[in-house]
Amino acid sequence: MKKLCALLFIICCGFTSLNASYEITKDEMLNYVDSVHALIQSRYAPAEWKQGYCQWNLAKEINKLKQTLNDEENLTVKSFQRQLRHFLYSMKDYHVNVCFFSTEASFLPFKAKKFGDRYFITYVDKEKFSVFNEGDELVSFGGEDPEAVVGRLKHSSTPSAASESDQSLAEIWLTLRGAVIGHEVPNGPITVTARDRNSGELKSYQMIWTYRPEKVNDHLISKPQSPVLPGCLDVEKMNRHRALPLAEYYSSAFSGQNDDSCTLDPNEMGAKRSFLPKLGSVEWETPDTALIHAYIYQNDDDKTVGYLRIPHFQLSPEEMEELAQIIPIMQETADVLVIDQLNNPGGNLFTAYAIASMLTDVPLETPKEHLLLSQDDVLDAWFLLDTLNHVQSDDDAKSILGDSFFGIPANYQIAQFMKEYARFIIEQWKEGKIYSDLTYMYGIDHINPHPEIRFKKPIVLLINGLDFSCGDFFPAILKDNNRATLVGSRTAGAGGFVMPHFIANRMGVYCITLTGSLGIRSNGDPIENLGVGPHVVNELTPADIQNNYQDYIRTINEVVKEKGNL
């Protein structure tokens, strides 16, 4: 997904105006809608689940979209884009999204979040704005109650799939807008009022949106993705991403705030360091230069507790290597390990498997999945099977897959599981099954313990509504195998892998992302929409933001104390 966003940026910045005399017709827009209809029919896996869950019907929603487009007299490209996005959100799926060719964006140098029934400022970029402070209550935003503004953003910019997740995403959009994902982008001054956390005094300040103008006009012709030609095994294609689409745009990277001079916001999704302060008196900590944040602290029960931050599941080989050095320290020193995956946008399922392998001394069962198959999947299966038929040893497997398969050690056994998976895909297609029977991704039905690195003691896993995709699957695996106690609030419920799809058009649509599978937990529940609930509910309150999250931390340490005394 990072490559996709980088490509998008290059394309957006590189195009110049084409023939300005060309006018896009309503018929052209309706023809594109027909192409989207066909795409969803062939590639959207949870369709049947959505019909039962939220009475979603593809034909009905397509007809509504067409009727809306036909009824609009002055239909523009921007309004078409908004209607297309609204249609896609009818699927109530965080993996389903649309990305446009656009550079227009605006941001304000602070962020706010709802705690209880009030909004509080959670982050201020002090190099750009110093009037407000973290913990101040946001009272008015542009002359309106912040709840009203966030409510409109929830309605227009989220899929209404999970209340906490929708709310959290809309809070991000309060001060961060971009036409690349269909926002109407504000420009000019805005007056913001906040109540000082210490004095209670109201402070009003006229700010101005930092605005990046549109460089792409409405006559842009999009280019489809160049296909990967058959003939060799494309290992990268085997990585079925499980992340919030365009997650980078939910962070400071979207607004251009990610330069070295900008203080990093720990509230961002995928932030290296969590927004939580230290959970106790720290005895050991990874250095600031480390890629992975971890520390060991003492609780009030004189137990030694480990803390490990997993910001996302797209860890680099270097990050995985650091993790492999940290976990043995935890095993040797800590009585309990707290894993913080709060605000985790997801990533690579096999990286999640690799991390889980270091946290157990017994095999962990993985979720099964339904796949929506096409000839593309069958051809890939034949190439996979043909390539792996030559594997007769661990060294043969490594010569094809590399030393590891996205973090999982590559060996002869993994290759055999993958071959069985390829045979399954081929046989399902031969039997005429487009929506496959349940299967394990690449045949990996259990996560085997790591050969050398194994944390065997109790685990407390922190979760919330900004945990997506792999951020759903990882806690599902640990919970369903009774390997961790989950603390926090329900995960978002993005329950499958996500794939980008490209349809050539002149409506400024770069790509549409769809969910290609439906993950099913061992208890038979889909992960999609339902997410993973905690054992112990722990939600943020106004007191947390104004008292350094002490109540939230107290609940965590109560669970830690209980687990440490077992």
Domain ranges of the chain: 105-212, 241-366+450-495+526-564, 374-426
Q: What angle do CA 469, 474, 475 make, to 5 degrees?
A: 105
Instruction: Dihedral sign for Cα 429, 431, 433, 434, please.
Output: positive
| Predicted local distance difference test score (pLDDT) of residue 2 | 47
- In contact, 532 and 481? CB cutoff 8 Å: no
Structure token digits, residue 105:
């964006």
Please state whether beta strands 202-208 and 210-212 pair in parallel, antiparallel, or not at all (unpaired): unpaired
Q: Please name which of 424, 466, 468, 469 lies closest in space to residue 442, comparing C-alpha atoms.
A: 424
| Predicted local distance difference test score (pLDDT) of residue 237 | 61
Q: Which residues of the chain have pLDDT under 50?
A: 1-20, 219-231, 253-263
Q: How many residues does the chain have?
A: 566
User: Are 105-212 and 241-366+450-495+526-564 the same fold in CATH?
Assistant: no
The verdict on domain 105-212 having CATH code 2.30.42.10 is yes
Distance separating alpha carbons of residues 420 and 443, to the nearest angstrom: 6
- In the chain, the amino acid numbered 385 is L
| Predicted local distance difference test score (pLDDT) of residue 248 | 62
- In the chain, the amino acid numbered 490 is R
Distance separating alpha carbons of residues 566 and 547, to the nearest angstrom: 31
Distance separating alpha carbons of residues 298 and 285, to the nearest angstrom: 12
> Where do runs of H (alpha helix) occur along 435-547?
470-480, 542-546
Distance separating alpha carbons of residues 452 and 95, to the nearest angstrom: 35
Q: Give residue for tokens 């029919």.
A: 41
The pTM of the full predicted model, rounded to 2 decimals, is 0.90
- In contact, 564 and 335? CB cutoff 8 Å: yes
CATH superfamily to which 241-366+450-495+526-564 belongs: 2-enoyl-CoA Hydratase; Chain A, domain 1 (3.90.226.10)
Please state whether beta strands 189-195 and 137-141 pair in parallel, antiparallel, or not at all (unpaired): antiparallel
First-last CA distance in the chain: 42
- In the chain, the amino acid numbered 14 is G
Distance separating alpha carbons of residues 522 and 284, to the nearest angstrom: 38
